[in-house]
Structure formats: C-alpha cells, structure tokens
Homo-oligomer: A and B are copies of this chain.
C-alpha cells in the first residue's frame, strides 16, 4: 500500500468543524490548563471541559475514586467551580488555544439546564455545548434524566430551544436500549451524541465491609468498558443520522480507530489522560500513521466503515 502524504483529519460534528477527531472527555481534562505542560493543546480536535453547573458544587466526600480491573470507579459528584468562575477564570486561557472549546454542563432541574445553556451560549469562545444527562433529576425523585425517554426528550428540547450553539447530548449507558435513547435525543433536536458516559458500578472493602467510595456507587470508566462502548456506538450509529462522539476506554490510537470504524465521527479520551497525560497527541499521531499505512486520505472514510 502506498504511504499517503495528504492526510485529512478534519471532521464535522453538526455545524462544528474540528481539525481532527480527537477530543478530551469531560471531567478528565480539567479546564485544559493543567495539561498544557504535557500536550500542545493547539493540536487537539477539541477540549471538552469538566461538567459545569450554574452554581459551584462541592461534590462528594472522599474517597471518590477506586481502581478496578482495567478500570476505575469515580464518584466526584460533579464538583465544579460554577459557570461564572469558569467564564472569568478559565475562558481567557481557553480562548487563546487554537482548538474548539466545548462546554459540558448539567443541572438538577430542567430550568437549571436551560439557564446554564443560555449563559454558556453567550460566552465568546465556546464553540459547542455538551449536555450531560446522566445526572439525577431533582423533580422526579433523583432519577437520572437520561434513563426515562420522556424526561430525556423534555430536557433536551428545552435546552435546544435555548441555544444556537451545536448541541451535543451525552447519553447515559445504563439503559436497556441505548439506540432508543439516541433516537429520542435526535428527535429532541440534538446535533450530535456523545457516548458513553460511565457505567454504574460499586466496590466494597472486605476488611471494613464498607463501600470503597463514600458515595457507595460510582461511574466505571477505562479500558474495562470499551467493549460495551463500542457496541453502543455501533447500535446507535445504525439508528440515528446525527454524528456520534465515541468514548469509553480509549487508551491508544488503535482503540480510537476501533470507535471510528464502529460508527463514531470523533472520539474523546477520558481516563487515559490520567495514566498518560500526553496520550491525546499520541493518539492523533497514531490515527495519522494508520491512515498513511492504509492509504486512507480522509478520516471521514473510516467512520462507520465496519464490515458486518
């Protein structure tokens, strides 16, 4: 196979144009600044920031994380500095980065989601919104927004009507039929889907007989969940027409390419940033090498190219 010289890594997520398909997963890259030492942020497709809420949140008490086989559980509890501080303290830095900035956000009520979306939409330098619907809904007994199709539809359409920015909906994987939830999100006006968020899990200390996380349960991420994530991306990509950002356990460019082949248009790197803080740049390089060695000129050709 001839080695390709002109490799086109550009992808488009709705109206949002990215220089390459590699983004960071929310909550695993802080607000970008901590990683500047390890990776040239300008090379990234996009930076997705830690989930934001209207007001700052303290999050859960420690311990908040525990390692599991090829994975980790986290129960950070969505600790964040709040949208106002984010705009004041973090956006000046992010605006200077030659990459896309995607603001991940959430709320306890539909109203909070809408207000957060409106506020973020008016900020110069934010290129898209990613709404996290794996959060408990105060109004319906703290059941996760993303597990009841009716509530899911309602909160997404409300947000849709309050922003003109590209709207990415991040689905909860803890459902019976993810492709149904994907269609609901598409119908409600999502421009793209992110999947997957963490699987709900738990670990117990057999010496103390106490849960290893203060919050009892937490979200499972890392390589352990990759097979579930790949399956969900594949199932959803057959059912919706909007692009999918694939994530869950990506630790190498091979993993990223696997997501693209299965149907993702872009990928996000999460837990792997903790292990190799420079991993995002290496994954971009690896995708380029793969394309070059296979004679593929545009990364778009890889997306959804699975042969079943």
Contact = CB atoms under 8 A, between A and B. Distances in A.
Interface of A: 68-71, 73, 147, 174-177, 199-204, 206, 208-211, 216-217, 220, 222-228, 230-231, 234, 249, 254, 257-258, 261-262, 290, 305-308
A146 to B, nearest CB: 10
Contact of A176 (B176, B227, B231): B176
Contact of A70 (B69, B201, B230): B69
A270 to B, nearest CB: 14
A61 to B, nearest CB: 13
Given A209-B305, A209-B306, A231-B217, A204 B71 contact: no
Given A209-B261, A210-B307, A202 B230 contact: yes
A200 B223 contact: no
Nearest to A181: B176
The listed residue with most B CB atoms (<10 A of its CB), out of A201, A203, A228, is A228
B206 A230 contact: no
- Copy number in the complex reads 2
The 6 closest A-B pairs by CB, nearest first: A201-B227, A69-B223, A70-B70, A224-B224, A202-B231, A69-B70
Contacts of A254: 206
30 contacts: A68-B224, A69-B69, A69-B70, A69-B224, A70-B70, A70-B71, A70-B224, A174-B176, A175-B175, A175-B176, A199-B227, A200-B228, A200-B231, A201-B227, A201-B231, A202-B227, A202-B230, A202-B231, A202-B262, A203-B258, A204-B258, A204-B261, A204-B262, A204-B306, A206-B257, A206-B290, A210-B306, A211-B306, A211-B308, A217-B234
A255 to B, nearest CB: 9
Contact of A69 (B202, B226, B234): B226
A68 B227 contact: yes
A206 to B, nearest CB: 5
A206 B258 contact: yes
A222 B73 CA distance: 17
Contact of A227 (B220, B231, B262): B220
A69 B216 CA distance: 24
